[in-house]
Amino acid sequence: MAKVIVVGDPLVSSNLLEKAALQLKITGPIEVKKFEWYYDISKKEFQRIIKKIEMVGPEYMDIPNGILEELETANYLLVHYAPISRKMIEHAQHLKVIGTCRGGTEHVNMTVCQEHGIPVIYVIRNAEAVADFTIGLMYAETRNISRAHQFMMNGQWKKAFPNDPYKTTLSHLKVGICGFGHIGKLVIKRLNALGVDVLLYSSRENKDDLNKNGLSVEMVDLETLFTESDIVSLHARVTKENRNMIDKSLISRMKPSSYLINTARPELLDKEDLIDALRNHRIAGAAIDVFWEEPLDPNDELLKLDNITLTPHIAGDTVDAILGSPNLLRDALNEYFRGGLTPTALKW
């Protein structure tokens, strides 16, 4: 008997996770124990919880009652956003694999997983959605689509904007991609199809991966990316080393006609340095979908700028991205069990 524990939340229910767990290709019958984490609050309230766990990690979050006892005999643990802390892992002496149906692993104590040699399987549930949205933000900001709409809704027929001296088509711009994960690859693929020249900075350069995916880019260092790009789009994970790495020193390298796009993580970017550059029109504009505080405070300085496009962390929010993620996790786990190549498997 294989024992699988699933922990649902307001976005991905335990019922969806249970259905996926029962389709795992593991030997013998499967017993599923279901738990819920913050299942009885609204999605809006849950966004605050998500932001907190992204900031503080799994160790300072509550866990469902009774889960520690069940973990003592569990073989598999599947979650969406629920925390997986040191205490939980150390109670799970028979745990073989942890699976999470999202791309980020801030809610998992990866250090303890590594100490105990427990593989972590994750999935990029919304990569296509975020890649589409990123391209949309490039158009929206460079061509003033959203701010023109806002003026129209306020009864103003406005056709002049701060970036007027730089307005041109996307194909005439050079886009710099910072980060070469699943989303970054998909953004590059779309830009290649649009005939856009692409620069790429990645701390883990993989030319074989570029060739395998048929992507056309020019690899550059980070300083060159910011110096030469007309649009810089962030797609890196947050680590201790790169937190706030996009600061005044890099932003000051950007052309006055250039734009910054962030659909990744706010912690990559120094907020005050970005605001200063936009307020003084040292760059042409920015488009941001992720924020240091969510929801955004009504008095936030970002709301006072005339050269920024803001969206409320919705880049990955499509009807199929989140609800379909347990099935993606099921498929990734089954591929892992077969010994196949699983790019989203973290093994130690």
DSSP-assigned states of every residue in 71-104:
HTT-SEEEESS--B-HHHHHH-TT--EEEESSS-
Ranges of CATH 3.40.50.720 domains, the chain: 2-125+322-346, 127-310
> 234: which DSSP letter?
E
Question: Is 313 known to be catalytic?
Answer: yes
CATH class of 2-125+322-346: alpha beta
Q: What is the pLDDT of residues 155-195, one digit of tens each?
A: 999 999 999 999 999 999 999 999 998 899 999 999 999 99
3-state secondary structure 300-311: CHHHHCCCEEEC
Q: Which of 36, 90, 128, 294 is catalytic?
A: 294
Q: Distance between CA atoms of 326 and 4, rounded to whole angstroms?
A: 14
Provide the pLDDT for residue 16: 96
Q: Distance between CA atoms of 264 and 287, rounded to whole angstroms?
A: 12
Q: Which of 125, 235, 265, 330 is catalytic?
A: 265
CB 176 within 8 A of CB 232: yes
Rounded mean pLDDT of the chain? Answer: 93
Question: Is 106 known to be catalytic?
Answer: no
The two three-digit tokens of residue 28, written as one number:
């013998």
Question: Is 294 known to be catalytic?
Answer: yes
Looking from the CA of 85 toward its CB, the CA atoms found within 13 Å total 15
What mean pLDDT do residues 328-332 have? Answer: 94
Q: What is the pLDDT of residues 100-124, one digit of tens each?
A: 999 889 999 999 999 999 999 999 8
pTM of the model: 0.83
Q: What is the pLDDT of residues 191-202, one digit of tens each?
A: 999 999 999 999
The arrangement of secondary structure in 127-310, i.e. its CATH architecture, is: 3-Layer(aba) Sandwich (3.40)
Burial of residue 276, with CB atoms counted within 10 A of its CB: 0-12 exposed, 13-18 middle, 19 or more buried: middle
Q: Which of 107, 182, 313, 330 is catalytic?
A: 313
Provide the pLDDT for residue 344: 65
